[in-house]
Amino acid sequence: MSGLAKTGYTAQLEPPAVIPDFMRYRVGEQVDPDNPYPEHTQNMMELSYLMSIPLGLILLWLAIRGRVMWLKVWSVGLMVLGISLFSLDLFT
């Protein structure tokens, strides 16, 4: 028996009074098939693609310096995926 059950505490979950604006879709809202994500979500995805390239370079430099093979492979893969996803997102 957990400690909360021994004390007789029960959590009271109530629905939020105000629905936050950052919800993905509103109730009854139709989704645009050409742009299913909000603009800020798209911007964050692009930022993560772009951050993966310099991060991959830094990790590759550390892997070469430390002679760590798995980190070399991982960092090259990170850069390849970051470049390919960003270019795919940019040109489609």
Which residue matches tokens 């989704």? Answer: 31
pLDDT recorded at residue 72: 96
> Residues of the chain whose pLDDT is less than 70?
1-28, 36
Residue with the two structure tokens 């911007």: 43
Q: Judge whether 16 and 23 are in contact, CB under 8 Å.
A: no
- Give the C-alpha separation, 47 to 25, whole Å: 22
Q: What pLDDT shows up at residue 2?
A: 54
End-to-end CA distance of the chain: 55
Q: Where are the domains of the chain?
A: 49-92
